[in-house]
Structure 1
Amino acid sequence: MTQPLFKEIAIENFTDLPAVVNAGANRIELNDNLAVGGTTVSRGVMSEAARYTAEHHLPLVTMIRPRGGNFVYNDTELKIMEADLFSAQELGVDGVALGALTADNRLDTEALEQLLAAAGGMSVTFHMAFDQLSTSVQLSALDWLVDHGVERILTHGGPLNTPIEAHVDHLTELVKYAAGRIEILPGGGLTTNNADQLAKTIGVTAVHGTHVLDF
């Protein structure tokens, strides 16, 4: 029997949480400001979402991102992200999505080591900042993330303003290179109409999006 596709649903604040839980979401990614790609919710939203998902035995991933725009963070922004990571840990959140890059679009390994230490054992997703890396450095970046205990990479496979279907070959390459060491989680442009077929083609058993579930 074929295993049903695992669906991580990105939501904005608490509003749609009960509906997506009732519709059969397998995991929740909690954001504010989805229009800019997602930022960190308030502590109050995080607290209520953590309580609700725990009651429904559903894993919760919260976005750790202090603002929209690029993924190059100064020391003050990193302190804010650290504080949000400590809050997530304290409130019982299962996982976090984060990322940090240098001005020349490479992994900011110093910032990431600081953030991963603050994550303190929570499951970590490296979010779509991965797609800002040139393809020539993505494989070595993947290796670094594996070596530092990151659990999954959320990726569109290319620029978000292009259809995910255009990046199937690259996503397939990432899955093969990862070889089970880290999960490749496709996202951006997946819907209830194309998710199953794309997942099968790419070779994954889980997808991410706002529209991969009817609710």
Structure 2
Amino acid sequence: MLNEIAVENFTLVPAAMRAGAQRIELTGNLASGGLTPSKGVMAETLKYCHEHDMTVVAMDRPRGGDYYFNDIELKMMEADMFEMQALGVDAVIFGVLTRDNHLDADAMENLIAAAGGMDLVCNLAFDWIPRADQHAALDWLADHGFRRILTHGGLLDTNVVDNIPVLKETAAWAQGKIEVMPGGGVNDGNKEQVTSAMGVNQAHGTHLLGELVPAVPVHTRPL
């Protein structure tokens, strides 16, 4: 089982590695669904992870909320993509949709070009696409070089275990084309149930390996 642990700063990266993580998804502000991490956090995380033979996936998302990004936001994403490429990020996770919740092909193609040699991963924007159109979206992502799709099997206000039938169907669609990785509510208590049902050997989450405790406690100054 490949455990991809989502962290929003460097503090938990060594703890995730000690617990058995094989891959880190580095993101800022998990409470907003994950945003682009800072350059400094990316640089230190990459240094540590690469010294320990662990890969890093970085989120490219300028804000929380929906996945409809305007031209200014797309320029930010492109600039951040170039920065990630220069830092040596292994993979980048992103997604851009049109107002009717379909892949924004033009925006996605521009970002793909900016990604250079980094592996491409589609984020939970995939779950916003109407179910009837997800098969075509999956094929588009596979045809455009995406290695993996992160999916909850539905919107995040649903329970991932309840979404197992959808996740199984998506994994069956994707077989031989692109990897499907469950995430969003997957944890050490339900990981085996979800991945076994899907027939996959990787999962994503903040608690896949239980509660992570940083080696050095983070203290806050009392007001």
Deviation at 1:180, TM superposition (A): 2.2
CA contact (8 A) 2:161 2:190 kept: no
Residue type of the alignment partner of 2:189: N
Q: Distance in 2 between matches of 1:202 and 1:179?
A: 11
TM-score by length of 2: 0.93
TM-score by length of 1: 0.96
Q: 2:63 aligns with which of 40, 47, 67?
A: 67
Q: Distance in 2 between matches of 1:58 and 1:200?
A: 24
Q: Distance in 1 between matches of 2:41 and 2:2?
A: 25
2:9 match? 13
Query: Aligned residues: percent identity?
Result: 52
- Between the two proteins, the alignment pairs up a number of residues equal to 211
Deviation at 1:95, TM superposition (A): 0.4
Deviating more after overlay: 191-200 vs 145-154 = 191-200
Matched, 1:110 2:106: yes
Q: Distance in 1 between matches of 2:198 and 2:19?
A: 25
1:150 match? 146
Q: 1:196 aligns with which of 189, 192, 209?
A: 192
Q: Distance in 2 between matches of 1:125 and 1:43?
A: 20
Matched, 1:53 2:41: no
Deviation at 1:64, TM superposition (A): 0.3
Q: Distance in 1 between matches of 2:144 and 2:118?
A: 13
Q: Distance in 1 between matches of 2:67 and 2:159?
A: 22
Gaps of 5+ in 1: none
Deviation at 1:121, TM superposition (A): 1.6
Q: Report the secondary structure of 2:11's partner residue.
A: coil
1:33 match? 29
Q: Distance in 1 between matches of 2:79 and 2:18?
A: 31
Matched, 1:97 2:93: yes
Gaps of 5+ in 2: 213-223
Runs of 4+ in structure 1 over 3 Å off: none
Q: Distance in 2 between matches of 1:135 and 1:169?
A: 13
